[in-house]
Chains A and B, each alone.
Chain A
Amino acid sequence: MNLLGTLEANLALPRGPLACIGWADLAADRVPMPVSWADAEADTAWAAGILASYGIGRGDHCLFVTAGRDYWPRQVETAVTALGGFIGNISPASYEDRRLSVYLRFLPPKLIVGLSEELAQKVVSSDELVTLLRDVPHILAVPAAAAILAGRGIAAQAVAAVGPALALPCAEGEGAHVDGSQFSVAQRPGSRALTVTTTANREFQLTDGEAATQGSVLTGCGCGRPGPVLRLR
């Protein structure tokens, strides 16, 4: 009698093919993005490969800044725990500066993922938080936040969903990787518009869909990983 028994009861329940329904932010609209258990497993395995470059392992704290509507944070959170690390979580709102401060002071993360624009604006107005953030080994922020943080000398790489795909920087390079086994990404000639095509048998299919996130496609990354590499705006 304990929660292990409850878990056993839960896992005995029938389960359909869908792990969740997230959203793909396209230039024209946000569209529903069903994710199968197989998709989620592939996404987690790929993200774990990228996170391994940061040396995430047992006992490492990764702090997530997430809005509840996004799928990709679960993809990366699950990768962290698969590597043996542990996660914390705060919301993107500017009022989370207090909670961020508590985490930074008492449980310093090795990696922050998804630092938002609202929170970055609040952070840079606080000398204490700026000092604490400079001590975080790796920060992945949404593109607008990365630019704000750079203004106070805080190094951060840009991370973002690009339509249904996640663009996640590795520790070695300066671009953000997309899982080439699942997606291809192209840049519209003469613009920063990015188009995404699903290349695997995913639950959600898209062909040349223009993503809400903009950027440019790079020729590769120094790390040598396969798949599209993007510079996000």
Chain B
Amino acid sequence: MASGLDQSDSILEPAVECMPRQELDAYHDDKLAELSHRSYGQAPLITKLWDEAGVTPADIRGRDDFTARVPFLTKDAIRDYRSATGAPFGGLECRGLSALDGVFTSSGTTGDATFFAEEWPRGWSPHWIGATRALYGAGIRPGDYILAGSSGMRGPQSHLAQLLGAVPVYADVFNDGWPKVLEIIERYRPAFMSLVGITAVGLAELSRTVDIERAFSCFKVIGFAGEPLGAAMRARFASWNIELLTWSTAGDVALCFECPEHDGLHMWEDTGFFEILDVETGEPVQDGGVGELISTSLCNTIAPLVRYRTEDLVRVTREQCACGRTHVRQWPLGRLGDLIIVRGVSVTPGEVWRAVESVPETSAGVFQIVKTGSRMEELKVRVGYDPATAPDLADLRRRLDAAVWAELGLEPSLELMTIGQLLATSATGKIKRVANA
């Protein structure tokens, strides 16, 4: 289909991004049938799972057949198949290595990282092609400077800028540190960069000595990814007059971003088919409901995920967004494995987060729940405090204790440490919100 490029407004491909639901449904019917023929018989793990379930490609004529008959795929199944056979993509590969341009990995926080295989049309990574819709929507235009890594774990981030006609300025907050990056911002006045939790915390510390609002006044928008953003941190960015655009993965098949309406993250349904299933019953969740995200990749030509259980807990809606886009929106709520029960009370990191960030000395939201099992007798939480506030630790402990009680009705066991000490325990540059004891 020819692109509906319209540079006069804020939507890169209006004909696609605002496609009516009926047309999206018809598209999914076609693509799922096509994917079934492409995967079965080629991808060994898919073939094995379908054979066990007694399903053949001829059975799949569209969404209804697909959701009723196709077996689920799990990360453990992919890892197990890979370990047993040595097949690098865990039996999802439909084509040989000669078709590949790039291979990237999951974060690997729950075990051995798994691979994502990519074929790059005309030399451009599809991972970043999809993301250009969001940045175009946020006002990034040709000639803008974008702070970006040249390349990384998820491929050449530089493509994101270059595809939009913008100029990537190579920078790495994690390795260069904020003072160096501030020099770069001052020099180039970029329009976009992206942060994760740890770098955002560093910015909060920097705000004591730097006028963040002035320094960052050049940005049209700043991305934030890696975990849900706490309310206090969001408010802090707002106080600096910085507009944040949170983004995440859409079930490991693409990226999904907020639009300027900030009302959920748009998952591009031409790149994936997304189901939301009730965690207990496995039944489809109604619009606005909460469930596990199940993803199927429609654009991956090498090793597509087919009915993949992401273990991501999300809320979704298929209602049209105020921005005019029609594709499904999600609100990431956490990981299924992060749900724990303490003395019969279900606890999520988000609830602990709200309590922690309500206390000034710990408002950066740096904390970690220590998990001893899915059902625990005690809620043990490591909390990072800002040492510059020189807190009375006994008093801080009392106030945190009260905040957690107010949020959850549980008396926590708190381990206090400085933010730096807690961040130093991260082996991946990402704050692990639920850590095994």
Task: Across the A-B interface, give the 6 residue pairs with the lowest CB-CB distance, nearest first.
Answer: A68-B149, A68-B172, A86-B100, A59-B98, A9-B3, A13-B165
Q: Determine if B142 is an interface residue (Cβ-Cβ < 8 Å).
A: yes
Q: Determine if A107 is an interface residue (Cβ-Cβ < 8 Å).
A: yes
Question: Which of A95-103, A162-170, A219-227 lines the interface with chain B?
Answer: A95-103
A99 with B105: in contact, given A4-B121, A14-B165, A68-B149 (CB under 8 Å)? yes
Q: Determine if B150 is an interface residue (Cβ-Cβ < 8 Å).
A: yes
Residues of A within 8 A of B171 (CB): 68-69
**B168, A89: Cβ atoms closer than 8 Å:** no
Residues of A within 8 A of B427 (CB): 95
Within 1-35 of A, Cβ neighbours of B (below 8 Å) are at: 1-16, 18-23, 32
Residues of B within 8 A of A107 (CB): 88, 103, 115
Q: Which interface residue of A12, A87, A106 has the most chain B CB atoms within 10 A? A: A106
Residues of A within 8 A of B101 (CB): 81, 86-87
With both beta carbons as reference points, the residue of chain A lying nearest to B131 in the complex is identified as: A6
A6 with B130: in contact, given A15-B165, A77-B156, A107-B115 (CB under 8 Å)? yes
**A59, B113: Cβ atoms closer than 8 Å:** no
In Å, the complex CA distance between A88 and B151 comes to: 10
**A21, B271: Cβ atoms closer than 8 Å:** no
Q: Determine if A188 is an interface residue (Cβ-Cβ < 8 Å).
A: no
In Å, the complex CA distance between A181 and B104 comes to: 34
Residues of B within 8 A of A22 (CB): 150, 170
Question: Per-position contact with A for B109-153: 1 when CB-CB < 8 Å, else 0?
Answer: 000110100001111101001101100000000110100111111
**B129, A3: Cβ atoms closer than 8 Å:** yes
**B103, A1: Cβ atoms closer than 8 Å:** no
Ordered by A's residue number, 24 sampled pairs between the chains whose C-beta atoms are within 8 Å are A6-B12, A6-B16, A6-B130, A10-B12, A15-B165, A16-B142, A20-B167, A20-B170, A21-B168, A21-B169, A61-B97, A61-B103, A68-B148, A68-B175, A69-B172, A86-B100, A86-B102, A87-B103, A88-B102, A89-B104, A91-B175, A95-B429, A98-B112, A106-B115
In Å, the complex CA distance between A8 and B123 comes to: 13
Q: Determine if B436 is an interface residue (Cβ-Cβ < 8 Å).
A: no
Task: For A6, give its contact among B112, B129, B150 (CB under 8 Å).
Answer: B129
A198, chain B: closest CB distance, angstroms: 19
**A7, B172: Cβ atoms closer than 8 Å:** no
Residues of A within 8 A of B162 (CB): 15, 19-20
Residues of A within 8 A of B150 (CB): 20, 22, 66, 68-71, 73-74
Residues of B within 8 A of A18 (CB): 167
**A2, B299: Cβ atoms closer than 8 Å:** yes
Task: For A3, give its contact among B100, B130, B167 (CB under 8 Å).
Answer: B130
Q: Determine if B243 is an interface residue (Cβ-Cβ < 8 Å).
A: no
Task: For A89, give its contact among B145, B148, B155 (CB under 8 Å).
Answer: B155
Residues of B within 8 A of A132 (CB): none
**A69, B175: Cβ atoms closer than 8 Å:** yes
**A81, B148: Cβ atoms closer than 8 Å:** no
B111, chain A: closest CB distance, angstroms: 10
Question: Per-position contact with A for B411-432: 1 when CB-CB < 8 Å, else 0?
Answer: 0000000000000000111000
Q: What total of chain B residues lie within 8 Å of the partner, measured CB to CB?
A: 74
Residues of A within 8 A of B405 (CB): none
Residues of B within 8 A of A136 (CB): none
Q: Determine if A193 is an interface residue (Cβ-Cβ < 8 Å).
A: no
A3 with B126: in contact, given A61-B97, A87-B103 (CB under 8 Å)? yes
Residues of A within 8 A of B86 (CB): 106
**A89, B1: Cβ atoms closer than 8 Å:** no
**A21, B151: Cβ atoms closer than 8 Å:** no
Q: Determine if B82 is an interface residue (Cβ-Cβ < 8 Å).
A: yes
In Å, the complex CA distance between A199 and B116 comes to: 41
Task: For A66, give its contact among B121, B151, B429 (CB under 8 Å).
Answer: B151
**A69, B168: Cβ atoms closer than 8 Å:** no
B36, chain A: closest CB distance, angstroms: 17
**B105, A2: Cβ atoms closer than 8 Å:** no
Residues of A within 8 A of B270 (CB): 1-3
**A71, B170: Cβ atoms closer than 8 Å:** yes
With both beta carbons as reference points, the residue of chain B lying nearest to A14 in the complex is identified as: B142
**A20, B158: Cβ atoms closer than 8 Å:** yes
Q: Determine if A84 is an interface residue (Cβ-Cβ < 8 Å).
A: yes
With both beta carbons as reference points, the residue of chain B lying nearest to A94 in the complex is identified as: B427
Residues of B within 8 A of A14 (CB): 142-143, 165
**A64, B151: Cβ atoms closer than 8 Å:** yes
A68 with B157: in contact, given A14-B142, A81-B101, A88-B104 (CB under 8 Å)? yes
Residues of B within 8 A of A68 (CB): 148-152, 157, 170-172, 174-175
B116, chain A: closest CB distance, angstroms: 10
Residues of A within 8 A of B169 (CB): 20-21, 32
Question: Per-position contact with B for A44-71: 1 when CB-CB < 8 Å, else 0?
Answer: 0000000000000011010010111111
